Structure 1
């Protein structure tokens, strides 16, 4: 087994940076390891126009450490009032990389999302023609649908009809969590890809619920059965080039996580690459790590691979990561994978 792995600097194709004091605290954590990241637009209020995206990008750049080469790839939040011309213009200018679809009520700050999908057909048609990717939070929100089934139902009721109605639309099914999601991406042809998080590679629903509720393992989509976790590991380490890393690192203050109605999200920015490297080692697939974290994402988005490199080194002693970071006087707990990490970014 190799003791070091050097690869083009990875990208994070799904990242929450928040705003204000939280942005200032967490942006350096991602910038330390990643070259670029797809930035989620679910602020309050959300990032819905090109002007919103430009202003948010400026705030992100101001929060980065001096000399950082990290590039935020901005997205717009799709609403039923989204202006197709604004989307296309923002994309053609290079300001916006993709548009994000949140079904209304699906996750944190998604109240402004889409309820009637017929009302966004014109936007999606314009995006397909202009080559603007659509990133989707793949869950239905119908109260009668069990939370563990919402991804599979989304594929059947929402995603597949959208793709059939909008030929040529490039879609990223973000943070897939099920065998259904893996199969749909794998069999869906060149216009669909899927991101996989670090935490969904290592936890199943037992980790969340057995022996007491662990709020820092609670995320949306929620972790599923062990069979689904194993399917994700096979997809990430396999030979399909339309799966790539999107951490969905989603920081919340501990007070908001450890409450009667705790927020969804796992904060993995500090240790995501160590976790993923360890998973690939466990699967005997270190030779596939570069494709998953550095090459597949740029290829799907039509971007160059990063020119600078990053090295991961395996060490005998566990890598020490902080248990939490400070965000404007509030603690944010770093995701604990539940086992020692031996791969360190050097």
Structure 2
């Protein structure tokens, strides 16, 4: 497949298995952009204020999302917290909740109520294994706990291995994989362990993130060799790895007015997520990281749509999108009608395919 010369491309709808849709007016602005990016299925993160720690809260949030976008399948999650007991897991399974998200305490946005001791949740994980819920891991440790010269993600990888060995039937997702070491750790586990890869970690490096507030996120992008390892993982066609945008909106003002190094963590890609994966692959071909022939229709469909649905035990996409080259460029931001909320978009000014539903 010669991406640069393709003028039109038809793909099954993207399944975005890691989405932040926020709450209140920001949620109302964000939710319509899910389908704009070619997505019909979205796994929604629970790190709201307060975090979603009971079934009623999750179902109420899902109802709000569905009211705004009736044609998106919103998969929901609980925030791992001491209140998430085995009984709550049974209730969640009966209510159709998909997973439970583990945030180490204090590592990212709205994670102050996160986990400090995973072993205290072993009964909960056993209940998840029994009821078929997915454990979604923000796979980093606090900076104070990471050995010198070891990334926060790599310091977490032994924990992934321990959890998988103790709960071999529990489906575990290592979210937003950023390193070559994480890819190898996931591959070393059995078929119940998978990982999401974002669009932005396919084109950003630590150099970008340190200098541009719109490229700053958690987990922080890593070395060019790690970025390239993620690209090669996608074109390997390995079904353990699939798309989760981790699109994380913050008001433009908070990104631009913060002191240097103090901007909130999050890269916003949602309105162009499908196209940005393709842009990242095009850039990787230009760098010589991969070859034109490494990118095939089947591999794009697998990463963007099929593998995530398979892991989450969902049917294949019934909807399709068409991407066409029409000279569209990524705008600076998306804003509410009255201009009160504005969110900056990643990779401003980049040429992208235009997307429409068929």
**TMscore range, shorter length:** over 0.9
Number of aligned positions between the proteins: 335
Q: CA deviation at 1:86?
A: 1.6
Paired residue secondary structure (1:270): helix
Paired residue secondary structure (1:140): coil
Residue aligning to 2:253: 255
Among 205, 216, 224, the alignment partner of 1:226 is 224
Residue aligning to 1:215: 213
User: Residues of 1 paired with 2:12 and 2:68: CA distance?
Assistant: 24
Paired residue secondary structure (1:295): helix
Q: CA deviation at 1:147?
A: 8.7
Residue aligning to 2:234: 236
Paired residue secondary structure (1:103): coil
Among 29, 46, 62, the alignment partner of 2:33 is 29
User: Residues of 2 paired with 1:238 and 1:88: CA distance?
Assistant: 37
Residues 141 and 156 in structure 2, CA contact (< 8 A), matched pair in contact too: yes
Residue aligning to 1:325: 334
1:58 matched to 2:68: no
Residue aligning to 2:268: 267
Q: CA deviation at 1:144?
A: 4.8
Structure 1 segments unaligned to the other structure (5+ residues): none
Residues 101 and 134 in structure 1, CA contact (< 8 A), matched pair in contact too: yes
Paired residue secondary structure (1:99): strand
1:278 matched to 2:287: no
Q: CA deviation at 1:79?
A: 0.8
Among 285, 301, 315, the alignment partner of 1:304 is 315
**1:147–1:122 Cα change, 3 Å:** farther
User: Residues of 1 paired with 2:352 and 2:110: CA distance?
Assistant: 35
User: Residues of 1 paired with 2:220 and 2:143: CA distance?
Assistant: 16
Residues 6 and 310 in structure 1, CA contact (< 8 A), matched pair in contact too: yes
Q: CA deviation at 1:70?
A: 0.8
User: Residues of 1 paired with 2:59 and 2:304: CA distance?
Assistant: 27
**1:147–1:195 Cα change, 3 Å:** farther
1:49 matched to 2:18: no
Q: Please report the RMSD computed on the Cα atoms of aligned residues, expressed in angstroms.
A: 1.7
Q: Normalised by the size of structure 2, how large is the TM-score?
A: 0.89
User: Residues of 2 paired with 1:237 and 1:127: CA distance?
Assistant: 32
User: Residues of 2 paired with 1:74 and 1:113: CA distance?
Assistant: 18
Q: CA deviation at 1:341?
A: 2.5
Residues 140 and 156 in structure 2, CA contact (< 8 A), matched pair in contact too: yes
Paired residue secondary structure (2:231): helix
Among 236, 244, 248, the alignment partner of 1:246 is 244
User: Residues of 2 paired with 1:160 and 1:102: CA distance?
Assistant: 17
1:112 matched to 2:113: yes
Residue aligning to 1:130: 131
- After TM superposition, list the pairs within 5 Å mapping 1:131-150 onto structure 2: 131-145=132-146, 149-150=151-152
Q: Normalised by the size of structure 1, how large is the TM-score?
A: 0.92
Paired residue secondary structure (1:110): coil
Q: CA deviation at 1:228?
A: 0.3
Measured against aligned partners, the alpha-carbon deviations of 1:165-215 in whole angstroms (never above 9, x if no partner) come to 222111010100001111111221201111000000001111223xxx211
- After TM superposition, list the pairs within 5 Å mapping 1:95-106 onto structure 2: 96-106=97-107
User: Residues of 2 paired with 1:274 and 1:181: CA distance?
Assistant: 25
User: Residues of 2 paired with 1:289 and 1:121: CA distance?
Assistant: 37
